[in-house]
Structures are given as C-alpha cells and as structure tokens.
Amino acid sequence: MPHTRKSLALLLAFEAAAAGCLVLSLVGVAGVESSGYVWYGALLLLTLAAGRFTVPLIFTGGASVWRKSVADAFILLSLLTFGAGAATLLAAADGLHTSRTLKGKGLKALSVSAAIVSTYAVGSFYLYFASYSLEWFGPVHNLLLIPLCLLAFLQNLLRAVVLAVFVGERGGMSLTPLRGRNLMWSAATQVAGASAAALFHAAYRNGGLTHMFSGALILFLVYAVSLLNEEHVEEVRRAEAEKLRHAEEVAGLHMSTIESLAIAIDAKDQTTHGHVRRTQVYAVELGKMLGVTPHEIEALRAGALLHDIGKLAVPEYILNKPGKLTAAEFEKMKTHTVVGGDIIGRVRFPYPVEEIVRYHHEKWDGTGYPKGLKGQEIPLVARVISVVDFYDATRCDRPYRVGMERQESLSLLKGMAGSSFDPRVVEKFVSNIDYFDGLIAEQDKREQVSPEPEVAITGARPDAGLAPDSVGVPDPASGFRSIAAAQREVAALHEIARTIGASLNLSDVLALVASKLGGIVPFDTCVVFVVDERSGRAVAAHAAGVDAEAFAGRAVNVGEGITGWVIANARTMCNTSPELDMAGVPEEVSGQVRGVLVSPLVREEGAFGALTLYSRSLDSYTAEHVRLLESVCLHASSAINNALMFERTKESALTDPLTQLPNGRAMRLMLEQRMAECQRHNREPISVLTMNIDDFREFNGSLGHGVGDRILASVASVIKRQMRQMDVLARHGGDEFVAIMPTAPAEVAALVAERIRAAVESHQFPVRTGRSARLGISIGVSCFPADGETADDLLAASAENMRQDKRARKLASAPNGLQLLAFEGAR
C-alpha cells in the first residue's frame, strides 16, 4: 500500500528521532563500568531469547500487525541497572527481532523506531523522576514500582498508537487492542513485566534466589496466559474471516439481485443490459478520479444499476413514446426520481444510493427536478451518474431517437457543462474517455453507435424515375441479405403493424411510424404529409430526424414537387433530384440532401398523404428500400386514416358545425375544469354569461332558416370580438350562447355584458340584397362563488338572470327583436 504524505512524514520523523536516541544511548552505554558489560551482555542474550515468546496485538479483522515480546522485563531491568541508554539498545534489538513478521518496510521501520523513541523517552523520564524521589524519600523508594508499571504501560501504548495512526493514514484498519479486552490484556502484561523487572533488580542488587524465582514465575505465567490469549485471537480471526466471507457472499448476492432488477427496469425502458454495465464502469472509475470516499464508490456501483428504478411506476407507453412527451406525460415521467428515492430509502443502504436515485436529474443551473437543486447542492455522486448516464444513453439507439457517434455525444456533453452538468465532472470524464472506453467489454461496445465508414462518392448518379419500374433489380455486387437480416426485417414489419395500430392518437401514430421505419429503411429526415381537407394542401403533420424543424409544418400543393406528385398519382417515386421537393426549405438544409424516396398513403378514395424520406449520405435508394417503404405505408395508411377519422369524430362531437364554437357538451366540460382550477387557486372568481337573441323565432319565420343560420354565425363573431383571449364562447343551443370568463369578478362580467349588448345591437346584419337587420340581445350574469359552487348552479343562475333581463327590457319597451333596415343607397 503506497504512503500518504502524512504517513511518510510520521515515518521520517520517528526514524530521525530514533537515530538521535541511538546516538545518545551509545554514549550512555560507553560510560558503563567494564565490570557491568558481562551482566549487560547476559541481559542482551535474555532479551533476544525472550523475544521468541510474544503476546499478539491485532488489528480489526484478526490480522496481526504487531506482537509484543515478554522481553520487556529484561529491558526494564536494564533501565533500572544501567540507565535509559542501555534499555534503549535492548529495545532496538527486541524490536528488530519481533518486527520480522510485519508486512511492509515502512511498518517494520516505524515499529523499531517507535520502540527506540518510546523506550528512551519513558526511561529518561522515569530515572529523572526516581532521582528526585531518592533525594526526598531515601533509598527505600528508589524502585518506585507503581510509577515503573505505569510508565512501562505508557511506553507500549505510545508505540501502539503510533503504529495505529500510521496504518490508518495508509488506509488500514483501526487498532483493536486499544479497546476493551485487548486494552486490559496489554495493561496486565506491562504490570507483570515491570514487577518481574523489579524482582530481578532486587536479586541483582541483594542476591537471593527467591526474587529471581518469583520474577521468572511471573514471566512464565504471562507467557502461559498469552498462549490462551493466542488461541482466543485465532478464534477471533477465524470468526472475523468467516464473517467477512459471509458479508462478501451477501454483498455479492445483493449486487446480483440489484443487477437483475436493473435489467428488468432497462427491459421496460427498452434499453440493454450493456447500458447498466457501461454506466457502472464509467461511474466507478470517474468517482475514483474525482477522489470520492470508498462509501461513495459503493454508492456509485449500486446507483449506476438502480438510478432508474422509479420507472417501474411509469407506463410503458410513456417510457417508449417515439414522439415528444406532452406536459402531462412529462410530469408523470418526472415522478420516477421521487418514487425511486422512496423505494431505495426503504432498503437502508449503508452508502448514499438514495441520493443518486432521487437527484440524478437535477441540473447544475437549478432547472432540474424533483427539487430544483443547484450547483454544489446536488450530491457529487448524483452529478457523476447524470454525466455518465447521459453519455451512454446518447451513444445507443432508443425507440425515440437514434444514437450518436462518440465525438458527437462528447460535444453535446461539453456544450451542456455549466447548465445541465457539473463542469468539473464533465471535464474529467471527457479528458479520460479513452481510458474509460478501454475498460468496456467488446460485446457491450457493439451496442454503441460506431463511426460510419467513409463512402466513396463518384460524380455518377442513377437515373431518376418512378419506382419500382425504373429501379430494377438490386445490384448483385452488394451481396445477398443474410437469413438473420431477413428475420430482422420480418420482426420489424410485425412490430410496425402491431404498434402503430395500438393508438388512435394521430401524433403518437405518426411518431411511431417514423421511429419504427428507421430500423429498416435508412434516412436522415422523415416527413409524414397528410392532405388537409379544408385547404386541399398536403401538410407536414410530423417530421423526425436531422433538421426536422425545417420541415415541420410545411405545406405543398397536391401535384407540385415530388411529394405533391406522389399524392396526386398514388405512386412511389425515388432518385429524383431533391431540389424539386425543397421549395421553402432553407438553403443550408436543402443543399445537404442528396437522396429522396416518397411513397403514398392510400385509402379507398385514393392517396390522402405521403411518407417522404430524405438522405444526406445516399445518392439513391434501391428497389429493396422501395419495397420496404411501400410495405410500411401499407400498414401505416390504415392506422393513420383511423387516427384522422378519430380526430375528426372527436372534434365534431365537441364543436358546433354552424359557428365552429364549442357546443354545449364541450362548454360544460370546460366550465367544470375551470371551476376546479379556481377552487385550487384560492377560490378565484369565475363568471358565466348566458346570452339569448330577442325574438329570433320570428326572425326565422319571416326570413327563413338559411338566413337565420348566417345571422347566428355573424352574432357569434361579433360577441367573440368583445371578449378576452382567455375567455371561452360556446353555442349552448338554438339562439343561445354561453361565455365562460375565468378570474373575472361580477363587476367585470357586467361591463363585458354591456359591451356585448352594445356591439350586437349596433351591428347591421345583412339579410337580403339591399337590406340589413338589427337585433336585440338579453344577457344574464352569474359569478362563482357568490351565485353557486357548481357548474349547474352557475348556469341556472345566469339563465334566470337572462330571463329577468329579457322581461325587464320588454317592460321598458327597449328596442329589441327584428328590425329590418334598408341599406343606405339601396335601389
């Protein structure tokens, strides 16, 4: 394991201090009387011999990092007999002997250096303290056994702490002997060693085998008990190893379960298993480069698999919708972050997976969801996942768009740095993309879009003409299609037939057609034209692909251009100059189109639209392409026609055909919806106006229903001009109109009612050549919440107020009813 700056500084500091202590110790030993060298040599031999009998100090997990020998008794004896320097040299010898089992040169060197420094420091302090005690209390206290035991314990504690700090700085585990049972065992051995040293010192000074025997017995008992502790340590080690193995098995099982769940989620979202594997590799490696913690690495490992778990709550038709989501659909899609966060929150991961799941759609500029977090407020792990998920998602084909090449995706990612993504994360990812992609398995790489090979372009161009007559047989040089390709074609056509008939929503059907077509016929832009029955022109109802905005909403006359000709003649055309179909298209777009293929959408009465494909890379389409497009159009024509009929039926069910205003049913639906909105928004007011043309039955009887219908349409137009853009005017039936005015209080509604009355009664409605008519109109107003809490209450109140207005106007002999006037200058 490599050194950190702190661990290296600690090692160098203790090595320098140990060197100084050794120099001072050698000076001190040189001053020992020559008669003491024999006894000191004996202590050295005893120290080395006792070094074989060690007491283990362990780290968490049962791994032995340092073993303390019972030779401490002889080191302390040397301290009492010859001084701190002699004791330090014995400690160095013992440290060299017992550190052989340690792994790592840095750890061995630090263990020896710590033994030297701690022994010299503690020994010098003890002798200094003992000299004052001897001066004050006499020779009876010169041993000071209790301070000796305490300082011996502190000497070994200092050594253990230094080793623990060193290993911790290098990423190791915390030292367990400094807690609980191990702390008690370490203290007991130190007290025993100090007591044995005191007994040996007494025997050395005063003679007598009793002290010698007692000291030896203490050391024997210490070692014997240490053997029992050794067995306990081994049991602990085995238990810890078994626990670790079990934890790894459980973690592996959990990760396999997570991966299986992720596959199920991606299958629902029509992505591939390779996507989650690639995202996991990108996220973990990028996290390491950004210096996240080990816990956050594990969070990235799991979060890469689970970040979209909330999509289980999103319907598949929204997940895989080829076209743009509606506002309501997007709101439903946004719930997947909250749902996913709630699901993961119940799992109680020990690392921040929930933050990834809940916040990976937040944006750097604060425009994301669900919380609108901004900048550093977004957890780093969520910022990492958002970048790598976006990159890999854009590299792969999806139901709603085609994948991008690597450089295109990276350019898009860099362009969104600072708005959607953390610039630092993007910069780190982009600068190391070669390294990241080098870690991806080959089978997973194949799912990403590869650079397209260069195509040799010649000046030659195939003859333009109709299809399939002029296109002929596919060039045999291109090779026969494989069986697998044929199977893919069958599957694609089946999928088109199955999916496009599953919806009656026109925009969804058109988007599905364009999406599924891209899997079997190449194109850069696909435009679906549908003939508008009112204008008679073919309108681009849907555009997809490159520069789709330039083609969206285009209208061409039937018979003009390639698309117009195909619709007029109900025949496919290809390989004609694209310029013929580029009227109104910006030059920078039209100039890049090289190939065009158009096939009609046909029903019983004839062609009602066309499916037009533009290509930037193909000079011409083959007969095979023509056949496939015609097969698609055969299936799509029925689905698109059904969707058109459904749209018209739905429109006619809610629209009055005479005035083109919403009918009574549509008016009631809109009123109920607007009232619900007002109730949610602090009970905002909403007003209803009911209007009735005075004596309109007499008008119909005298002038005829045809004239009456024209007058009704004109009255609707006059009323509409007096209302706000947000107001709704509907024909309630016969000669009665209803207006809905959101947020308008009764006073404002009354002013609008008078304005409408004045406009209608002053308007001259032409009825016959040279003659016009003026009409009176009665109006009743009601307002929520004063006149009712429901739509029925408001309609009933406004109708009653309208009837009262009509009666009051008649009693007042106000001008109303039909007044026929001659046009000025009529002959």
pLDDT value, residue 771: 80
**Which residues contact residue 403 at a Cβ distance below 8 angstroms, ignoring those fewer than 6 apart?**
394, 395, 396, 397, 448, 449
The dihedral over CA atoms of 180, 184, 185, 186, expressed in degrees to the nearest 10, equals 100
Q: Is residue 290 part of a domain?
A: yes
Across 153-166, average pLDDT: 68
Which range is most confident: 6-10, 337-341, 366-370, 680-684? 366-370
Cβ(572)–Cβ(629) under 8 Å? yes
How sure is the predictor about 755, in pLDDT bands with cuts at 50, 70 and 90? very high
Pairing of strands 736-742, 64-69: unpaired
More confident residue, 524 or 132: 524
> Can you read off the two tokens belonging to residue 744?
């308008």
The secondary structure element, H or E, covering residue 65 is strand 64-69
Position 801 pLDDT exceeds 90? yes
Question: Which residues are CB-contacts of 775 (< 8 A; sequence separation ≥ 6)?
Answer: 693, 694, 696, 699, 711, 715, 760, 761, 763, 765, 816, 817, 818, 819
Distances in Å between the Cα of 261 and the Cα atoms of 310, 319, 337 are 11, 17, 16
Q: Which of the four pLDDT bands, split at 50, 70 and 90, describes residue 478? A: very low
Determine contact, residues 609/638, Cβ cutoff 8 Å.
no
Choose between 553 and 470: higher pLDDT: 553
- Give the count of beta carbons closer than 10 Å to the beta carbon of residue 502: 11
How many other β-carbons are positioned within 10 Å of the β-carbon of residue 233?
A: 19
pLDDT computed for residue 802 by the predictor: 92
What burial class does residue 780 get, using C-beta atoms within 10 Å of its C-beta: 0-12 exposed, 13-18 middle, 19+ buried?
Answer: buried
CA distance 77 to 197: 5
Look-up of token digits 């893919």:
488
Which residue has tokens 């030896």?
Answer: 216
Please report which residue ranges of 320-479 form alpha helices under DSSP H: 327-347, 353-359, 380-395, 406-415, 423-431, 433-438, 442-445
Do 624 and 674 sit in the same domain of this protein?
A: no
385 — pLDDT class (breaks 50, 70, 90): very high
Nearest Cα to 585, choosing from 531, 514, 525?
525
Nearest alpha-carbon partner for 186 in 68, 265, 359: 68
DSSP 227-278: HHHHHHHHHHHHHHHHHHHHHHHHHHHHHHHHHHHHHHHHHHTT--HHHHHH
Instruction: Please state, in angstroms and rounded to a whole number, the distance separating the CA atoms of residues 371 and 332.
Output: 15
- Let me know whether 275 and 424 are in one domain: yes
Asked if residue 494 and residue 441 are part of one domain, the reply reads no
Domain that holds residue 155: 5-225
pLDDT digits 0-9 by tens, 238-250: 777 787 677 667 6
**For 752-772, what is the mean pLDDT?**
87
pLDDT at 599: 93
pLDDT band at residue 476 using 50, 70 and 90 as cut-offs: very low
Please, what is the angle between helix 72-82 and helix 105-137, to 10°?
Answer: 40
State whether 759 and 734 are in the same domain.
Answer: yes
Report the alpha-carbon distance of residue 645 to residue 651 in Å, rounded.
Answer: 10
How confident is the model over 318-336, as a mean pLDDT?
A: 72
**Across 663-672, average pLDDT:** 86
Cβ-proximal residues to 691 (8 Å cutoff; 6+ apart), any chain: 719, 736, 737, 738, 739, 756, 777, 778, 779, 780, 802
Question: Are 689 and 556 within one domain?
Answer: no
Higher pLDDT, 567 or 403: 567
Q: Quick one: average pLDDT of 157-172? A: 64
User: In the predicted model, what is the mean pLDDT of the chain?
Assistant: 76
**222-233 per-position pLDDT tens digit:** 666 666 666 766
Quote the percentage of the chain above a pLDDT of 70. Answer: 68
The closest of 297, 300, 293 to 258, measured between CA atoms, is 300
Q: Could you give the number of structural domains in the chain?
A: 4
Mean pLDDT, residues 530-550: 88
CA distances to 69, 517, 522, 730, 747 from 677, rounded to whole Å, are 83, 41, 47, 19, 21
Establish if 343 belongs to a structural domain.
Answer: yes
Query: Over the stretch 330-345, which tens digit does the pLDDT of each residue have?
Result: 787 888 888 888 888 8
Q: Mark which of 652, 677, 712 sits at the end of a domain.
A: 652
User: What count of Cα atoms within 13 Å lies in the side-chain half-sphere of residue 50?
Assistant: 26
Separation CA 360–CA 369 (nearest Å): 9
3-class DSSP string for 697-754: HHHHHHHCHHHHHHHHHHHHHHHHHCCCCCCEEEEEECCEEEEEEECCCHHHHHHHHH
- Is pLDDT of 178 > 80? no
Token pair listed for 333: 């899609």
517 Cβ neighbours under 8 A, 6+ residues apart? 496, 523, 526, 611, 613, 629, 632
Using an 8 Å Cβ cutoff, are 553 and 447 in contact?
Answer: no
Query: What's this model's pTM, rounded to 2 decimal places?
Result: 0.37
Domain boundary among 652, 683, 699: 652
- The answer to whether residue 310 is domain-embedded is yes
Are 603 and 687 part of one and the same domain? no
Round to whole Å and give the CA distance between 590 and 554: 14
User: For 351-372, b where at least 16 C-beta lie within 10 A, e where not — what string?
Assistant: bbbbbbbbbbbbbbeeebbeee
What pLDDT, on a 0 to 100 scale, did the predictor assign at position 283? 92
Do 685 and 619 lie in one domain? The reply is no
CB atoms within 10 A of CB 148: 25
Q: What is the pLDDT of residues 624-643, one digit of tens each?
A: 788 788 888 887 888 888 88
- Same domain membership, residue 518 and residue 387: no
592 sits in which H/E element: none
Check whether 48 has a pLDDT greater than 80.
no
Q: Considering the domain boundaries, does residue 453 fall inside one? A: no
Q: Which span out of 36-40, 191-195, 494-498, 581-585 was modeled with the highest average pLDDT?
A: 581-585
Identity at 154, one-letter amino acid code: L
Confidence of residue 587 (pLDDT cuts 50, 70, 90): confident
459, pLDDT greater than 50: no
pLDDT of residue 219: 66
Q: Determine the average pLDDT of the residues in 736-751.
A: 92
d(CA 346, CA 353): 11
Same domain, 496 and 631: yes
Angstrom distances, CA of residue 70 to CA of 44, 89, 190, 221: 13, 16, 9, 11
Q: Any idea what the CATH number is for the domain that residue 753 is in?
A: 3.30.70.270
- Which residues, 6+ apart, have CB-to-CB distance to 719 below 8 Å? 691, 729, 737, 739, 756, 759, 760
Distances (CA, A) of 189 to 157, 176, 186, 271, 478: 12, 16, 5, 64, 87
515 plus 385 within the same structural domain: no
Domain CATH number, residue 306: 1.10.3210.10
Same domain? For 671 and 800 the reply is yes
50 is a domain residue? yes
Contact (CB, 8 A) for 759 and 722: yes
Give 558's DSSP letter.
T
Q: For the domain that residue 182 is a member of, what is the CATH number?
A: 1.10.1760.20
Residue type (1 letter), 352: P
**Does residue 151 carry a pLDDT above 70?**
no
Does residue 626 lie in a domain region?
yes
pLDDT digits (tens, 9 = 90+) for 809-822: 888 754 544 455 54
What confidence score (pLDDT) does residue 416 get? 92
Between 731 and 53, the more confident residue is: 731
Residue pLDDT, tens place only, 254-269 = 666 666 666 666 655 5
Output 593 or 158, whichever has higher pLDDT: 593
Rounded Cα distance between 362 and 427, Å, is: 18
Nearest to residue 554, comparing CAs of 565, 567, 564, 566? 564
Integer Cα distance of 159 and 116 in angstroms: 9
Q: What is the pLDDT of residue 62?
A: 44
Buried b (16+ CB within 10 A) or exposed e, 640-655: bbbbbeeeeeeeeebb
Q: Where is average pLDDT lowest: 179-183, 304-308, 549-553?
A: 179-183
Q: What is the CATH number of the domain that holds 545?
A: 3.30.450.40
> Are 669 and 810 members of one domain?
yes
Mean pLDDT calculated for residue range 405-420: 90
Q: Extract the tokens encoding 414.
A: 């860099």
Q: How far apart are CA 311 and CA 337, in angstroms?
A: 8
pLDDT in tens, 89-126: 777 777 776 666 666 656 777 777 877 787 777 777 77
> Domain ends where: 156, 190, 225?
225
Assigned domain for 336 exists: yes
Interval 415-455: pLDDT, tens = 999 999 999 999 999 999 989 888 887 777 777 776 654 43
Confidence at residue 479, expressed as pLDDT on a 0 to 100 scale: 30
pLDDT of residue 174: 45
Is the alpha carbon torsion for 376, 378, 382, 385 positive or negative?
Answer: negative
Instruction: Please report whether residue 521 resides in a domain.
Output: yes
